[in-house]
Amino acid sequence: MAGKSLKRFSAGAVVGLLISASQWGGYTYFFGEPIPLIRGIAFCLALSFVCGLLTLRWGYETIEKLLQLLG
Protein backbone atom coordinates (compact mmCIF):
# COMPACT_ATOMS: atom_id res chain seq x y z
CA MET A 1 0.00 0.00 0.00
CA ALA A 2 2.75 2.45 0.92
CA GLY A 3 4.69 1.69 -2.26
CA LYS A 4 1.65 2.38 -4.41
CA SER A 5 0.99 5.66 -2.60
CA LEU A 6 4.61 6.73 -2.98
CA LYS A 7 4.54 5.92 -6.69
CA ARG A 8 1.31 7.90 -7.18
CA PHE A 9 2.63 10.89 -5.22
CA SER A 10 5.91 10.83 -7.15
CA ALA A 11 4.12 10.78 -10.50
CA GLY A 12 2.06 13.80 -9.50
CA ALA A 13 5.09 15.62 -8.15
CA VAL A 14 7.04 15.08 -11.38
CA VAL A 15 4.15 16.40 -13.46
CA GLY A 16 3.83 19.39 -11.13
CA LEU A 17 7.54 20.06 -11.47
CA LEU A 18 7.32 19.96 -15.27
CA ILE A 19 4.31 22.29 -15.26
CA SER A 20 5.96 24.80 -12.95
CA ALA A 21 9.27 24.73 -14.84
CA SER A 22 7.52 25.37 -18.15
CA GLN A 23 5.51 28.22 -16.64
CA TRP A 24 8.67 29.70 -15.13
CA GLY A 25 10.32 29.74 -18.55
CA GLY A 26 7.16 31.12 -20.19
CA TYR A 27 6.96 33.94 -17.66
CA THR A 28 10.55 34.92 -18.29
CA TYR A 29 10.05 34.85 -22.07
CA PHE A 30 6.74 36.77 -22.02
CA PHE A 31 7.63 39.51 -19.53
CA GLY A 32 11.34 39.71 -20.31
CA GLU A 33 12.19 39.73 -16.63
CA PRO A 34 13.35 36.54 -14.91
CA ILE A 35 11.90 35.34 -11.63
CA PRO A 36 14.56 35.33 -8.89
CA LEU A 37 16.16 31.91 -8.51
CA ILE A 38 15.18 31.25 -4.88
CA ARG A 39 11.56 32.30 -5.47
CA GLY A 40 11.38 30.20 -8.63
CA ILE A 41 12.75 27.09 -6.94
CA ALA A 42 10.41 27.54 -3.97
CA PHE A 43 7.44 27.95 -6.34
CA CYS A 44 8.41 24.85 -8.32
CA LEU A 45 8.78 22.73 -5.19
CA ALA A 46 5.51 23.99 -3.70
CA LEU A 47 3.57 23.33 -6.90
CA SER A 48 5.07 19.87 -7.33
CA PHE A 49 4.15 19.02 -3.72
CA VAL A 50 0.56 20.19 -4.25
CA CYS A 51 0.27 18.22 -7.50
CA GLY A 52 1.65 15.16 -5.73
CA LEU A 53 -0.96 15.49 -2.99
CA LEU A 54 -3.76 15.95 -5.53
CA THR A 55 -2.65 12.83 -7.37
CA LEU A 56 -2.32 10.89 -4.14
CA ARG A 57 -5.85 11.83 -3.11
CA TRP A 58 -7.75 11.59 -6.43
CA GLY A 59 -5.59 9.32 -8.58
CA TYR A 60 -3.94 9.47 -11.96
CA GLU A 61 -6.93 11.17 -13.58
CA THR A 62 -5.74 14.33 -11.85
CA ILE A 63 -2.49 14.23 -13.84
CA GLU A 64 -4.46 13.94 -17.05
CA LYS A 65 -6.64 16.92 -16.12
CA LEU A 66 -3.61 19.02 -15.16
CA LEU A 67 -1.92 18.30 -18.47
CA GLN A 68 -5.12 19.13 -20.38
CA LEU A 69 -5.13 22.55 -18.72
CA LEU A 70 -1.78 23.31 -20.35
CA GLY A 71 -3.02 22.56 -23.86
User: Tell me: the pLDDT tens digits for 1-23?
Assistant: 678 889 989 988 998 888 888 88
Give Cα separations from 51 to 22, 25, 34, 63, 71 (angstroms): 15, 19, 24, 8, 17
For residue 70, the model assigns a pLDDT of 76
Neighbours of 61 (CB within 10 A): 9
**Overall domain count for the chain:** 1
Give Cα separations from 45 to 28, 35, 42, 61 (angstroms): 18, 15, 5, 21
The rounded Cα 63 to chain-centroid distance in angstroms is 9
Q: What domain range is 45 assigned to?
A: 2-70
What is the arithmetic mean of pLDDT over 10-38? 86
Per-residue pLDDT band at 53 (split at 50, 70, 90) = very high
Q: Would the pTM count as exceeding 0.95? A: no
